[in-house]
Amino acid sequence: MMLGLMLARGGVPTTVLEKHADFLRDFRGDTVHASTLTVLDELGLGTAFARIGARRVERVSVQLDSGTYPLADLRRLPGPHREIAMVPQWDLLNLLAEAGEREPAFTLVTRAEAIDLTWHGDRVSGVVYRHAGEEHRLTADLVVACDGRESTVRRRSGLRTRSFGVPMDVLWFRLPRRPEDPAGLLARVSRGRMLVLIDRQDYFQIALVIAKGSAGEIRARGLDAFRGDLAGLLPWLADRVDHLSGWEDVATLDVKLNRLPRWHLDGLLCLGDAAHAMSPVGGVGINLAVQDAVAAARILGPALRGGRPAESVLRRVQRRRWLPTVLTQTGQRIGHRALIASRLRPGERPDPTARRPAVVGLMQRLPRLQGVPAYLVAVGVQPEHVPAYARRDA
């Protein structure tokens, strides 16, 4: 959506295929980071986004067995936005879609599922998609795969990812939030397990990080035991865990971490999770995908106005985004190792005698250091800026 809007503003006829009828789905990890807020400002959409009424997070805390500590202080960020906005992703997508509708070169086709590629010799020449029960072919100078970590387009292209082992999966669910509860973003970490609470005003969107492949074991112990584990990790949630009435209220995310060694073929470019599936650690996947789109728009716009871009142009996009991808994934892999250093098994309880890690203590003694994780998460290794041809005043 982001790339399509920018290219259309540059006069490039662009069609976005969306598998579903609308965007009203539970994306769960819905965060709009500081660098993405800047992108929205540059697109002239900052004022419209502000009207959505997002929750703003300026500090991130972590609750360990030894106590609760501030970990990231976004107020120390440079630039106009010193926060992360918590907003349902469908609101952001609707905002971009509405902006796209105002561009003559932009077309959004819903209920359109890309199922295959078309080829002209060795060059990708378009896509086959299913719409209203029928197959259609769309010819294009460039196909951009933004269809997620299970990308059908990537699979049909023959490009293969390099996968990295991950020690974790995630269980997603909701619990009511009360006015006196902590606001913003809170992480509860105890012996290899993490509970992340995302403030959605009247409820918490909660991610429970579990050992890889252990979802079946957790379910086998029963829902009452699961509720007990949650209450043991965060006792102030104990009076509302009964809102989980069945396992259908708990979704399992099979965490993957991978990237394509090569993001492109002649006529095809992969971006976002289709090029590099990210772990939930740091919640940076959405931000990284947006930055991919902005960089791609800046590099591809002039080339596409002249027709089919050479593969060397697509290679430039990958080169631009390769380093932030590798560095971010490396940080996530380090985070994985920290999480499993001492695994908390189902049924075990936190250790109240545990000491805080040395790095956490250092960040309390030197609060300026809290700006480092804030920058890495909310801005990123290499933030991108909207090309001049796609900018608008609010």
Q: Could you write out the DSSP letters of every residue in 17-60?
A: E-SSSSS-S--S--EE-HHHHHHHHHTT-HHHHHTT--EEE-EE
Instruction: Give, in order, the Cα–Cα distances in Å from 239 to each of 30, 77, 228, 231.
Output: 26, 37, 11, 8
170, part of any domain: no
151, part of any domain: yes
- The alpha carbons of the chain give a radius of gyration, in whole angstroms, of 22
CB 155 within 8 A of CB 175: no
108, part of any domain: yes
Number of domains the chain is built from? 1
CB 326 within 8 A of CB 380: no
The pTM is what? 0.90
Cβ neighbors of 316 (< 8 A, separation 6 or more) are 299
43, part of any domain: yes
Q: 3-state class of 180 per DSSP? A: coil
134, part of any domain: yes
Per the structure block, which two tokens stand in for 326? 């590798």
182, part of any domain: no
Range of the domain at 36: 2-58+78-163+257-331+356-390
361, part of any domain: yes
Cβ neighbors of 216 (< 8 A, separation 6 or more) are none
CATH number at residue 159: 3.50.50.60
29, part of any domain: yes
pLDDT by 10s per residue, the chain, length 394? 999 999 999 999 999 999 999 988 776 667 899 999 999 999 999 999 999 988 888 988 888 877 888 889 999 999 999 999 988 889 999 999 999 999 999 999 999 999 999 999 999 999 999 998 999 999 999 999 999 999 999 999 999 999 998 888 999 999 999 999 988 788 887 766 688 898 888 899 899 988 889 999 999 999 999 999 999 889 999 999 999 999 999 999 999 999 999 999 999 999 999 999 998 888 888 899 999 999 999 999 999 999 999 999 999 999 999 999 999 999 989 887 766 544 445 555 555 556 777 888 898 999 999 999 999 999 999 999 999 999 999 7
